[in-house]
Structure formats: structure tokens, C-alpha cells
Structure 1
Amino acid sequence: MDAIQAAQPIAQSRQKPNLFRVATATVIGTAVEAFDFLAYGTAAALVFNKIFFPQFDPATGTLAAFGAFASGMLARPIGGILFGHFGDRIGRKSMLTLSLLLMGICTVLIGLLPTYEQIGISAAVLLVVLRIGQGLSFGGEMGGAMLMAVEHAPPKWKAFFGSLPLVGAPLGILLSVGSFALVTRLPEEDFLSWGWRLPFLASAVLIVVGLFIRHGIDESPEFEEVKREKARAKQPLQDKMPLSELLRAHGKSLLLCIGCKIAEVTLIYTFLVFSVSYAVSKLGFSRADALHALLYGAGVLMFTIPLFGVLADRIGARRVCGWGGMFLGLMAIPIFLAVGSGSLVAYSLAVFIAMAFNYAIMIAPQSSLYSAQFPADLRYSGLSIGVQFSAAIGGGLAPLISATLVQKFDSIVPVGVYLAFLGIVAGASAFLMKPTPQDLRRG
């Protein structure tokens, strides 16, 4: 008995530094992946229509660039299935390392691509292929990072630690948008010739740093426990395909995760990609002003996500996520009225509120809430597929749907109506999900 009691402080002292390493690795790794993935979205809004799709008029070229953007988003569910399959069979850590490496290779190669003027339509084809590679990588990254943080976290801090990998997303936004805000200061000719390539090429340094930090973390303790239990029972880790078992036994939970996620991911990609193009082409703002609005929102978002994570640990992740969706349903139309007002101050304030509050409330509790929907041996697949199908449907189509609505109605208000509807769907989906222990404790 004394030996057991003496061992407990030692185990706890070991757990704390490991928890810190896991938190650091998931934040930095997700930030690097988000930077690489989102750099394309920023470039698509600013330059890709001119250098990869110059054969079209500006509006059609922008739609073509957004279509190539969507190809990466549509590849994310496939990445979620592949990485989730092996993450539930082999382990979380190795899949996270592989996803980061794949993202780095594809991003650097985008920065090295020849333009349409140099090799014709092959340039656009190669761009789409590399974008799909980015999508496969990001499809395995986010669910795995969320899972590693939650499965290492103490029971009372699941939502807070689960929110930390999600801080990597606004950090990636800051790096991506900030780097393009710098290179857009170059003369137009230099920016179109070589300046746009710099953020993609610079990501090589970030990838090396991310791989080094991620290499030092331990495997998920909950996954290790599942392996030990299966070994004692002399059962294979997965005697069935994770995807088929997930659909058979947890189809309802998967659909609710998709319904809950779709509003938040549509909101963020509408602002990251579509709103920049709209602000420059329709409102006449400078590229720098449009990007600065995103920077301010992303900067505050880094702090509001963990704050709402703490709130979710206090009152319940399901409750916070559900009311966050309903809040978007209430706020979406006023936000987009401000976006379309023509005032830079109103536009910047709308971006700030949407990112720092509407988005943060919905995304902060998701790691904890979604993890509670699936058993440990199917959790990587469940999280990755749920998150990435939402990203493909919502985020991938967000710029295209938004641009189409504006073209058809000659107003940005229908975009707000669309997001208000998705917010209500998200809120209802969250309230129908299995509660976390904190939700039950609060009644």
C-alpha cells in the first residue's frame, strides 16, 4: 500500500511535463498544418485567379480558384477515413507525424509550381493535385490532435486541454494572413511573379520544427489501455473495419457531429476566403485592410477559444456548443449586414465578432464533446470523419455558395440567412448529442 501511495506522486510528476509536451506539440503541429492549408485560401482570394486561371474573366477566375480550394476540402473526409483507420489500429502519434510531413511536402511544392503562362493548363492541374494532398493531410491532423489532447487530459479539464489544439487554427491564420499581408506590400508585378510563393516556401522551416516537437510526445494513454485490454483478451485491436463498425454502431453520433460542426466551419471559411475577395472586389477595400481585419479577429480568437474551453469544463461542453450554435442563428444576419455596409469599421467589427466570439463558442468544446460520442477504439475515426465531412460540405463549399448567392441576389444578406440556418442546425445537433460528465453534473 505504501509503495502504491509513494508511486502516485511520481506518476503525477511525470504526467504533468508529458501533458505540457502534448499540449505544445498539438498546438504547434495544428498551427503549422493550418498555416499551410489556409495559405492556399488566402492566395486563392488574392492571386491564384490571375496566375493559374488567367484564361477566364476575373469573376469566373475567382470561382475557378475557389473550386480548386474546394477540392482540398473535399479530400479531407478521405484523409479522415484513412488516418482514422490506421490511428485506431496502429496509434495516434504515428499518424499525426505522417500528416504533418505530407502537408509540408505539398505546401512547399505549391510554392515551386510554374504558372499558367509557363506550362499552360498543367499548372492548374498540378495545383489541384497538391491541394488534394493538403486536404488528405489536414483530414488526419485535426481529429488526431484533438484526440491526443483530450486523451492525455485530467478528467476535470478535458474541454480546456481539448481546446488547445484548436488554438493552433487561429495561430495558423495569423501566420498565413500575416505573411500575405507582408508580401502584398510588394509592388504588384513582384507579388504576382514571386512574392506570393514566399509563404508557401517558408513553411518548410515550420514543418521541421513541428516534426521535432511532435516526435517527443508519448502515445495516448487511453489508446495504450485499449491495446493492453485487447492483448489480455487475445483479441485484435480492430477485428472489424473501423469505418464499417462506426457506421453500424455509432451512425447517429456521427451524423450529429457533422450537423454540429458544419455551421462553425462554414462560418470561418466564409470569412477567411470569401469575405477577403468580397471586400476587395465589391467593397473596394485594399487587400491589406481586408487581411488586417482577419488578423485582429484571429489574434483575439487565440485567447477566447481556451476561455470557452474552461467554461465548458464548468457547465458542460454540450451546453456551450449548443447555445453557441443558437447564438450564431441570432447574429448571422446582423453580422453580414455590417459586412455589406461598405464601412471598413463595420466590416472589421463584423469579422472580429464572428471570429472571436461566434466561432470560438462553437469550436472550443468540440474536442471534449465529440470524444464523448465514441469508444476509444473508434474515436480517431469518429472524430476525424465527423469533423472532416463537415469541413468538406460546409467549408469547402462556403466560398462557392457565398459567391453564388451574392451573384444571384446582388446582396450579401442571403449569406447571413444561410449561416443563421446552419447555426440553428448546429445548436439542435449539439443538444441531441450524448452529454459529457460536466453536462450531467450541472443537470
Structure 2
Amino acid sequence: MTTPSASTFGTKQQKRAFLASLVGTTVEWFDFFIYATAATLVFSKIFFPSFDSNVGTLASFATLGVAFLARPVGAFVFGHFGDRLGRRATLITTLTVMGVATGLIGLLPTWNQIGIWAPILLTALRFLQGVAVGGEWGGAVLMSVENAPASRRRFYGSAPQIASPLALVLATVVMYFVARLPEDQLLSWGWRIPFLAGFVLVVIGMIIRLGVEESSEFTEAKQTGEVTSHPILTVLRTMPGRVLAGIGLQASVIVLFYLITTYMLTMATNIHGFTRSDTLMILLIAAVVDLIAMVGVGILCDKLSAWTVFIGGVVFTAAFAFPLFALFNTGNIGLMIFAFTAALVLGHATTYAVVSSMTAELFPTAIRYSGVALCSAFAGVAWAAPTPLVAAALVPTDGSRHWWPLATILVVTAVISFVSAFATRSHFGSGAASAGDTRDIDDVPVPVRDLV
């Protein structure tokens, strides 16, 4: 029996790049998710207390959406520098911006202390969070993928994706204990604790990222003179079809995720009468299972066609859309946990684990950071930002049980992802970056050029 070589699992530097992508992005998403959870549970009361319950929830979700509108700014700024200067320095900057913005949110005075300036400052800091995330995801994907062993590209590409449920678990655990505080303590100082932790977590992430060298593929591109002066403009001018395809690939997975982690938590509290702790426990159980599934899918897709697994997840999302809300609407905690878990494992993990490396394969090395960042940022604007707002507007969380418009939206976005995947089926179906394929992803033809 032969022993696998060290290169099969990655060199020390490759493993360090994977870890830096995982830990750094976990820190960023932790900061991002505690805001989403706080917006769901407390912000309407401390930053928008003069509004009624439903309007306050809408206003709170609106500040949540500001970060997604800021993502294109981060994509343009950090995408440019990521393709000009390198992935490493850019990712250190995004982590710093996110950590500082999150920590400052924990220091903000509330409406009762400074009035209208409280939500204004909250929105400004949320905007900075969005700018940081707009540059983070693409760089984290490339730090891992561009340093990956050829036979492990899918798993390495799943590093920032695994970070998402991992951060959700950590954020939910923290918010679970915070939410158990008496309401007066929660609203006065308890909600600040997770945000102030941002100052500490950014130091941890920084130490790990400082130990990683520049991406090997970008270093080679820079040495051969492939780096362009205006990478963002090059992507938009020559490859708009690839950007559109990358945005479309993320439609169903983003809408599903944000319906579950924001709107449906509010629905559980306001309509079904669950306590904040109960709703967070439902989410925590589902997120833990999702985390395990994400790791499994990343490993599996180095053996099987990632495109096939992705399509399976999209089809499941469409098929499960109406049962998801029907089960949730029963108000039975066991059925609600089952619905959340099934949706996250079979609809979210199967698509989210591989959409990162699939998106990276749409662009050559010299402009890849810009291309991936644009796809991620505009996917956030198109799918993530409006989801909680549209959901709360169509089906108010003050007692309405007519949830069918939300299930319909989920089906429509699944169709968009399905069409986007089929537009690129020849490329992803070829098994590039999986099943032991040793070609560089730049060597694989991209039929999506026909969309340009």
C-alpha cells in the first residue's frame, strides 16, 4: 500500500493559507452575524424605539441591508488592490476595518442618549462592515484556492464557506447567553458584549494572516507581467457575462440563508411566541449540522462533479421551499428544527461549499480578485440586502401567517441559480479542480464567454 505524499494534503504553507482563510473569514462573519442577530432581537428597541413593532423591525433590517449596498464599494476598492498589490496585504486591511467597525458599534450610544444620531452612526459603521466584507470574501477564496494542491481545490475553496456556519455557530452561542439576560440588562449593556469582542478577534485573525505568504499563482502572474493597471475595468469591459453568471449562481443559497437567519427568527418570536433563547437554539442546532455538512461537501466535491452537487442543492431548494415554510408555520419546535436543518444541509451546504471555487474558475489569475469580489458584492446587493426587508414587507411579522409569497421568492431564485449553472455547465461539468484534475484553473476553457 502506498502512502500519500505530503503534497496530496498540502504543504505547510498551503495548510497555513487554508487556516488563514478559514479563521480570518470566521472572524469577519462573526462580526457580521452578531449584527444580523442583534438587528433581529434588540436594535428595533434601542435604536428605533419611537416606531411601532413592525416599522421598527423594518428600520432595523434596513440598517442590516446597508452593508450589502456597501459591498460593491469594497469590491471595487479591494478588488483593485488585490489584483494590483496582492491578496495578503488586502486581506489584512479588510480584517482590520471589520474588527474596528464592529468594536465601535459596541460603544455606540442609543436613541435615548443621543436621539437620531444613534441610528445614523450605527448605519455608518454598518456601511464600513459592508465595505470590509465586499473585499474579504473574494480574497479569502483566492488565498485558499490559489495555494491549494491541485486535487484539493474544492475543499480548499470551501474554507471561507465553512467559516460562514462556523461564525454563525459562534455568534449564535454568544447571543444565546446574552439573550438570556433580563431584558433591561440586555438592552442597556448586554448587547454590547459580542460587538466589543470584535477588537479581540481581529487581533487573533491578524496574527494568523500575517504568517501567510502571498498567493503562489498571483506571485507568478506578477512576475510574468500579467498584472493589469485597471483590473476592475478589464473585468467589466471584457467579461460582464461571467460576472452575471457568478451573481446568478449565488441567488438561491443567499436568499435561503438570510430568510432563515434573519426574517424567520423574527417570525418565530413575533408570530409563534418563542423566546429569544428558543429561536437562537433552533438556529444553533441547524447551524452546527450545516457546518459539518459543509466540510463533508467540500471533501466530496474533490471526488465528484461539483456542478452536479450544486445543481442537486438548487433543485432541493426549489422543491423544499413550500414544505420549509409549512413546517415552520406549525409552531412545533421539533418540526421547525427539522425544517431549518434540512434546508441548510441539503439546500445551503451543497451549493455554498462549492460556489466559491466555481466563481473563482470564471476569471484568470491577473483579474480574479476583482471578478470574484464583483460577483460576491453584487450578489449581496441583489439577493441578500433586500431579502429581510422584502420578506417583512410582504409578510409582516406582527401576526400574518400568509407565507406563500416567501416560498415563491425562494423558488424563483432557485430557478435563477439553476439557469446560471447551466450557462456554465460545460466548464464545471468537466471536473476541473476535482477528481484529481491537475490542470491550473486558468487552463480550462470557460464557455461562459459566449454570454459576453
Same-fold status (TM-score > 0.5): yes
* Structure 1 CA distance for aligned equivalents of residues 432 and 84 of structure 2: 30
Which residue of 367, 374, 390 maps to 1:378?
Answer: 367
Name the aligned partner's letter for residue 431 of structure 2.
Answer: Q
C-alpha contact (below 8 Å) 1:266/1:391 kept by paired residues? no
2:416 is aligned with 1:421: no
Deviations 1:174-232 (A, max 9, x none): 111111100111111101100000000112211110000010001110000101111xx
Which residue of 188, 191, 198 maps to 2:186?
Answer: 191
Other-structure match for 1:350: 339
2:391 is aligned with 1:391: no
* Structure 2 CA distance for aligned equivalents of residues 277 and 19 of structure 1: 41
Name the aligned partner's letter for residue 414 of structure 1.
Answer: P
Other-structure match for 2:51: 56
2:69 is aligned with 1:74: yes
Residue correspondences, number: 428
C-alpha contact (below 8 Å) 2:154/2:433 kept by paired residues? no
Other-structure match for 1:325: 314
Name the aligned partner's letter for residue 384 of structure 1.
Answer: A
2:243 is aligned with 1:250: no
C-alpha contact (below 8 Å) 1:153/1:161 kept by paired residues? yes
Deviations 1:147-191 (A, max 9, x none): 111111111211111012211111111111111100111111101
Other-structure match for 2:421: 430
Which residue of 24, 28, 31 maps to 2:19?
Answer: 24
* Structure 1 CA distance for aligned equivalents of residues 309 and 378 of structure 2: 22
* Structure 2 CA distance for aligned equivalents of residues 427 and 147 of structure 1: 24
Other-structure match for 2:133: 138
C-alpha contact (below 8 Å) 2:262/2:388 kept by paired residues? yes
* CA apart distance, 1:103: 0.3
C-alpha contact (below 8 Å) 2:313/2:351 kept by paired residues? yes
Unaligned runs of at least 5 residues, structure 2: 436-452
Unaligned runs of at least 5 residues, structure 1: 1-8
* Structure 1 CA distance for aligned equivalents of residues 419 and 8 of structure 2: 41
* Structure 2 CA distance for aligned equivalents of residues 181 and 115 of structure 1: 22
SS at match of 1:284: coil
Flag the 1:390–1:280 CA change in 2: closer, same or farther, 3 A.
same
2:86 is aligned with 1:94: no
C-alpha contact (below 8 Å) 1:70/1:397 kept by paired residues? yes
* CA apart distance, 1:323: 2.5
* CA apart distance, 1:441: 8.5
* CA apart distance, 1:129: 0.1
**Which piece of structure 1 moves more, 367-376 or 119-128?**
367-376
C-alpha contact (below 8 Å) 2:165/2:288 kept by paired residues? yes
Other-structure match for 2:274: 285
* Structure 2 CA distance for aligned equivalents of residues 348 and 413 of structure 1: 20
* Structure 2 CA distance for aligned equivalents of residues 371 and 175 of structure 1: 27
**How much identity, in percent, do the aligned residues show?**
39
Flag the 1:285–1:381 CA change in 2: closer, same or farther, 3 A.
same
Other-structure match for 2:449: none
2:145 is aligned with 1:155: no
Alignment of 1:294-309 (within 5 A): 294-309=283-298
Q: Which has the higher helix share?
A: 1
Flag the 1:440–1:383 CA change in 2: closer, same or farther, 3 A.
closer
* Structure 1 CA distance for aligned equivalents of residues 377 and 309 of structure 2: 21
Other-structure match for 1:273: 262
* CA apart distance, 1:24: 1.0
Q: Which runs of 4+ in 1 moved over 3 A?
A: 11-15, 407-410, 439-442
TM-score by length of 1: 0.93
C-alpha contact (below 8 Å) 1:150/1:367 kept by paired residues? no
Flag the 1:329–1:179 CA change in 2: closer, same or farther, 3 A.
same
